[in-house]
Structure 1
Amino acid sequence: MTIKAYLYDRCGTCRKAKQWLNQHGVAFEEIPIVEAPPSKEELRRMWQASGLDLRKFFNTSGQHYRELGLKDKLPAMSEEEMLELLSSNGKLIKRPLVTDGNTVTVGFKEDEFEKAWGAR
């Protein structure tokens, strides 16, 4: 499967991830996360493949996260409610979000990218 990279142009971390992928010759499809966020079902598959807590998919340093008071609301939300919220607003999703359908990385840490995407 093609590697999909959900990125936001004005995000410095996304630019670093994109540069890393390009420098390492990793072919990927760039998807603008704000204009075309992953669907609820796509997010569900990524979350399950990642093995991460669903809350790790939230951009906790974002303005929308703070405006919605999600720090206090997330603990009481169901997984369905969280997935619905994430799929409704790409700015709530921690980025970059990169997947090939089996492997998923959330955010950019060079060592994690090397492990996930380096040997391609």
Structure 2
Amino acid sequence: MDVTIYHNPDCGTSRNTLALIRHADIEPTVIEYLKTPPSREQLIKMIADAGLTVRQAIREKGTPYKELGLDNPSLTDDQLLDAMLKDPILINRPFVITPMGTRLSRPSEVALDILPADAFKGPFAKEDGEPLLDAEGRRIV
């Protein structure tokens, strides 16, 4: 299965999502989006395919969101996209793209919606120990 993850290795949710994909014996294309940001067209498509608004795809925590005044409701989608592309830390993560769909995998178990359920064998837990899959590889949450 062709899977792409827009990943930040410093983010626990992103690490958990990547580990979950690999637990399904899938080696995804890993794009560290802070080093290699998506193009404007790719970002627009990811946001739309995930069923989000541009505002929902912006990361506020740990970013210059407030300092840049991005909480101003009068800003247009184009202005928000410009800010996200100029400073990719503003792109929420991780976005996961599979033939089954695109999701902003926050929390990481959202990725289960677009991965084949029969690919999981055995239990899986997040870094903090929270179980996501039982001994048979079935979703717990």
- The total of aligned residue pairs comes to 118
Identity over aligned pairs, percent: 25
**Contact 1:105/1:113 (CA < 8 Å) preserved in 2?**
yes
Counting only pairs closer than 5 Å after superposition, residues 1-16 of structure 1 correspond to structure 2 as 2-16=2-16
Structure 1, residues 29-60: CA drift from partner, whole Å, max 9, x if none?
Answer: 00111111111110111122122122111112
Which of structures 1 and 2 has the bigger CA Rg? 2
Shift of 1:11: 1.0
Please name the residue that 2:61 is paired with: 61
Q: Scaled by the length of structure 2, what TM-score is found?
A: 0.73
Q: Which amino acid aligns with 1:30?
A: V
Task: Give the match's secondary structure for 1:105.
Answer: strand
Match of 1:51 in 2: 51
Counterpart of 2:88, as a letter, is G
Taking CA–CA contacts closer than 8 Å with sequence separation of 6 or more, which of the two structures ends up with the larger relative contact order? 1
Aligned to 2:75: 77
Q: Which has the higher helix share?
A: 1
The normalised TM-score by structure 1 is 0.84
Following superposition, which runs of at least 4 residues in structure 1 exceed 6 angstroms of deviation?
Answer: none
Aligned match of 1:116: 114
Partner of 1:87: 85
In structure 2, the CA distance between the partners of 1:27 and 1:88, relative to structure 1 (3 Å rule), is: same
Alpha carbons of 1:34 and 1:106: their partners in 2 closer, same or farther (altered >3 Å)?
Answer: same
Which residue matches 2:32?
A: 32
RMSD: 2.0
Q: Which one-letter code corresponds to 1:103 in the other structure?
A: G
Unaligned 5+ runs, structure 2: 120-141
